[in-house]
Structure 1
Amino acid sequence: MISGILDISDSNRLHIRVLEREKQGNGGGTSLVKKQKIYYGWIMVIVAAIGVFFSGPGQTYSNSTFIDYLIADFGWSRTEVSSIYSMATFFAGLIMIVVGRFIDRFGQRLMMVGVGVLFAIALFYNSLVTTLPMLFLGFFLIRLLGQGSMSLIPTTLVAQWFVKKRGVAFSLMSLGGFISSAMFPIINIWLIQSYSWQVAWRFWGVMLLVVFVPIAFFFVRNRPEDIGLVPDGHAEGPKLNLKASMEIAEVDWTLKEAMHTRTFWFVLFCVGVPAMVNTGITFHITSIFGSQGLSVQMAATILSMMAFVGIPMSFLSGLILDKIKTNVALMIIFGLEVILLLLLTVMTTNVLAILFGFLWGVAGGIERISLKAIWPNYFGRRYIGSINGVSSTVMVLGSSLGPLPFGAGFDVFGSYQPILLGMIVFPVIAFILSVLAKKPEKTINV
């Protein structure tokens, strides 16, 4: 009987999970499985969605509600606050590689609890900010712990519990992000206007400690194997034959091993492009629309439309992703991005603007799921924290670089058309790399 994890090579620590083991030695896992009416992985999806929701205090859609009040209270300029926010985001992004390694070392449960507590402390700290250096540290902490870590850890948790149903699981998890982006600005404004911006920071700190941290502590289990399960809901034991085991087995790559494949670098480039292009468009969308003779109200409508289209598209893309190759989904994303940039250059009517908003939502829905799923799909679950940490760093750095070329291009040319046309080169390159980014194969020496 083959049991547990089979070590193939000491040099590369290749692991193929052969998921057939006897009932003995499961640490009570088999008895736990018998008591479950639903697969425990779906509980992990709910917890992950809650985690993504509570990343809100570190996200731009929440932080933007505080900016005007900080400027009014302390007399800082908008340029000062914006520059500090960009720098804090940049440095926080650099550290995400370390966060990914910590996830692999300590597991999602300990990291969720630890980050949740530290994030709450950071929010209390932000309520005490009175100087620009304090503001930089506050922004740095909430971007690192909230926008970065509270998004990365849930993603790696879901990746551990699902293989064949990974796309659907990520789709359900993404609901936490949609609900967060819809609720946080409204709640923040109410708290700030009813009490103060300091109270708003403290409110979310308390909510993290009394809601999220206990949920993470009592419910999170790092891997299905920890409780006698395997990915997607199969119980481990003699009834699971070798053929069925191998169907859901994955080959695990370390970060170092993954970095020696061209696919890793191709996908990494593909991760950075949407972050840069979409952030640039979003940051300047009001100005872009105005330069085309469209109203501010239409720009706001398109942003809302993108979100509403993105919700069902995320579910649909999750189902599709479980049926097609992941790099095909990437090809669709970048094909749509080329169309979107071209549309922006000729978008002079509301009809074209609505078409743009719809396609933007479609592309965003596919992107939200595909870029999360491709790393575990290609490189396995065991070292997904380290690998996803690098991806998160590139994504954050890409988003920090996005607005600059649009703004500089407009200042130089007096129009967005040249920079929009110039930006097309990035999704075109990413499309080509997506075609080449096939799932890598690893030589197994038994």
Structure 2
Amino acid sequence: MAVTNRLSVIDPAKSPIFYGYIILLVGTLGIYCSIPGQTIGVSVFTDPVKDALGLSRNQFSNAYMIGTICSSLVIGRAGKWFDLYGARYVAFFAALTLSVALVLCSFSVQMSQFVKEVADIDTWLIPFLLMTVLFFVLRFSGQGVLTMASRNVIMIWFDKNRGKVNAISSVAISFGFSSSPLWVNALIENFSWQMAWQFLAVGLLIFSLIVLQFYKNKPEEHGLHPDGIITKDENEEKQVVAAKQFTLKEAQATRAFWMYALMLAFNSFFITGLTFHVVSVFASEGFPKEDAISIFLPASVVAVTISTIFNFLSDYLHLKLYLYLMILGGLMASVGFLLLSTTFGVPLLIGGFGILGGFFAVLNAIVWPRFFGRNHLGAITGKVMSFLILGSALAPSIFSLCFSTFRSYRLMGWLGIVYLAFLAIASLRANNPQ
């Protein structure tokens, strides 16, 4: 058995169908399994865990922010691991690490109490520091490494059909993520928050074994080609121009890298900030809690529709059009933020929210292999992931600071408009470096 297939009984070359479709299935499952390390998965645990640890909401949020910022500073290293060792081992250890972190989270109260007794100190700093470390591990392994490795391995197995398979993956992930708070909350209510984290840990342990069996780094390692293309005629071979394989340093020297990365980071910042404080945002404009929560379903429908249509079309259209449509969505959401109390505010916010999410699902997967090649995809996407994680880390605290200072969130809308106007102008020359 080849070294690339060690510890696995699955041979992609003997698969009755193109193995890339198996990669599509397990890679999508891998992104879904990152939910315990995503904001949407952690937020459900906020109230019971902070109360059990004796932390205030601000203390708990700050622990989350610091842990997330720290993970953004080292995620680039994981991207280099991806290029060096491949998706299989990186995703395996990420899933295993996330599983262990969830078990430790479930015993956080006991661990905190033990340290207090040993140190003979009763202070909030002990559970605060403990959760900061645990959040670092959760965010690094879940939102960072497992998500990056799973998304990248799908993109590596496809080329011409990259947009089509990403459409399938994006739809499954959108519905999976949007429904996850319901079943995670059901686990907490029916068992306890400790057992809920333990159940998720067991699930991730099982998934880590699935990774070891089914994840395969590249089709070429198994005598296959992206998209399942086996042979080409001579004329077609001559027409194919080899894509330049950019290193991270070369990619960072292009305007396209920065404009697309900064736009995706804005999405991460804005969506996380709004999601984290959505009830407070709407309450500040006179809306009840039910109205705040109700925006997510229609926004998800818009996002899924956008990502499905434009993922399919991405195999034929220039991605700069997508960048500007995403900027338009961000402007709609920012204006909706400012006009929330008016008739058009909520529809604009929902529409912009959905457009941002839809194009994020397309660009974050498609743009990097198309623009910069596959050889250094891990390092490039690892750097981009650090921007996304940093944006999601800063958002809750900055939104909160805005409200505590001005008794309104409207300043975030103005900042969004200014930022997006800058990106729109700066992106005029953000062309595909290929």
Instruction: Give the structure-2-normalised TM-score.
Output: 0.87
1:221 and 1:248, CA in 2 relative to 1: closer, same or farther beyond 3 A? farther
Per-residue displacement from partner, 1:57-116 (whole Å, max 9, x unpaired)?
111222122222123323222221111011111101111101100000000011122222
Structure 1 pair 52–438 and aligned structure 2 pair: CA distance change class (3 A): same
Distance verdict in 2 for CA 1:97–1:402, change over 3 Å: same
- The CA deviation string for residues 380-421 of structure 1, in whole angstroms up to 9 with x for no partner, is 001000000000001111122223443333344333334412
Alignment partners' CA distance in 1, 2:266 and 2:175: 25
Among residues 312, 321, 326, which one is paired with 1:319 in the alignment? 312
C-alpha change, 1:349 and 1:153, in structure 2 (3 Å) is same
User: What displacement does 1:284 show?
Assistant: 3.1
Cα distance per residue 1:142-177 (max 9 Å; x no partner): 111111111110111012111222122222222453
Residue 154 of structure 1 pairs with residue 150 of structure 2: yes
Output the CA distance in 2 between the equivalents of 1:430 and 1:114.
37
For 2:302, the equivalent position in structure 1 comes to 309
Task: Give the match for residue 21 of structure 2.
Answer: 42
How many angstroms does 1:364 deviate by? Answer: 1.3
| Residue 184 (structure 2) aligns with | 188
Are residues 406 and 127 of structure 1, via their aligned partners in 2, closer, same or farther at CA, if it must alter by over 3 Å?
A: closer
Give the structure 2 partner of residue 290 of structure 1: 283
Amino acid of the structure 2 residue aligned with 1:281: L
Residue 372 (structure 1) aligns with: 365
1:305 and 1:403, CA in 2 relative to 1: closer, same or farther beyond 3 A? same
- Is 1:391 the counterpart of 2:384? The answer is yes
The residue identity in structure 1 corresponding to 2:95 is: G
2:121 is aligned to: none
Partner SS for 2:108: coil
Residue 220 (str. 1) matches residue 220 (str. 2) = no
* Residue 226 (structure 2) aligned to one of 209, 223, 231: 231
| SS of the residue 1:402 aligns to | helix
Q: Secondary structure at the match of 1:100?
A: helix
Percent identity over the alignment?
29
Matches within 5 A, 1:349-428: 349=342, 352-428=345-421
Question: Contact (CA 8 Å) 1:270, 1:434: kept in 2 or not?
Answer: no
In the TM superposition, 1:94-113 aligns within 5 A as 94-113=73-92
Give the C-alpha shift of residue 376 in structure 1.
0.9
- Opposite residue 89 of structure 1, the aligned amino acid is T
Amino acid at match of 1:424: I
Deviations 1:309-332 (A, max 9, x none): 222322112012112111220111
1:286-316 deviation line (CA, Å, top 9, x unaligned): 3332333333211111122212322232211
State the AA in 2 paired with 1:45: L
Equivalence map 1:61-210=2 (5 Å): 61-130=40-109, 131=112, 132=127, 133-210=129-206
So what's the TM-score if we normalise by structure 1?
Answer: 0.85
| CA distance in structure 2 between the aligned counterparts of 1:245 and 1:182, rounded to whole angstroms | 46
Equivalent residue number for residue 329 of structure 1? 322
Q: Kindly indicate whether the alpha-carbon contact (under 8 Å) linking 2:333 and 2:353 is maintained by their aligned counterparts in 1.
A: yes
Per-residue displacement from partner, 1:3-41 (whole Å, max 9, x unpaired)?
A: xxxxxxxxxxxxxxxxxxxxxxxx9xxxx8886553211
The reply on whether 1:340 has 2:333 as its aligned counterpart is yes
Q: Distance in 2 between matches of 1:246 and 1:116?
A: 41
Count of residues in correspondence between the two structures: 408
Aligned equivalents of 2:237, 2:309: Cα separation in 1: 27
Aligned equivalents of 1:248, 1:110: Cα separation in 2? 31
Write the deviation string for residues 118-164 of structure 1: whole angstroms up to 9, x where unpaired.
22111111111122132222211111111111111011101211122
Cα drift, residue 226 of structure 1: 1.5
SS in structure 2 opposite 1:49?
A: helix
Counterpart CA distance in 2 for 1:369 and 1:102 is: 24
- Offset, 1:240: 4.1
Q: Indicate if the aligned counterparts of 1:44 and 1:158 stay in contact, CA closer than 8 A.
A: yes
Which has the higher mean CA deviation after the structures are superposed, 69-78 or 223-232? 69-78
Contact persistence 1:267–1:433 (CA under 8 A): no
Q: 1:150 to 1:180 in 2, by over 3 A?
A: farther
Aligned mates of 1:433, 1:39 — CA distance in 2 = 41
AA aligned to 1:209 is: L
Q: Which amino acid aligns with 2:308?
A: F
Q: Which residue of 1 aligns with 2:122?
A: none
Tell me which moved more, 244-253 or 41-50.
244-253
Tell me the SS of whatever aligns to 2:287: coil
Structure 2 alignment gaps of length 5 or more: 6-10, 113-126
Unmatched runs of 5 consecutive residues or more in structure 1: 1-26, 442-446
- CA separation of 1:34 and 1:393: change in aligned 2, threshold 3 A: closer
Name the structure 2 match of 1:57. 36
282-291 or 372-381, larger mean C-alpha shift: 282-291
Structure 1 CA distance, aligned partners of 2:20 and 2:358? 23
- The equivalent of 1:13 in structure 2 is none
Contact preservation (8 Å) 2:332, 2:351 = no
Residue range with higher mean Cα deviation, 389-398 or 250-259 = 250-259
Distance 1:138 1:34 in 2: 40
Q: Partner of 1:19 in structure 2?
A: none
Provide the alpha-carbon RMSD of the alignment: 2.3
Separation in structure 2 between the aligned mates of residue 34 and residue 277 of structure 1, nearest angstrom: 44
**Residues 368, 248 of structure 1: alpha-carbon distance in 2 compared, 3 angstrom cutoff:** farther
Write the distance in 2 (CA, Å) between the matches of 1:379 and 1:358: 31
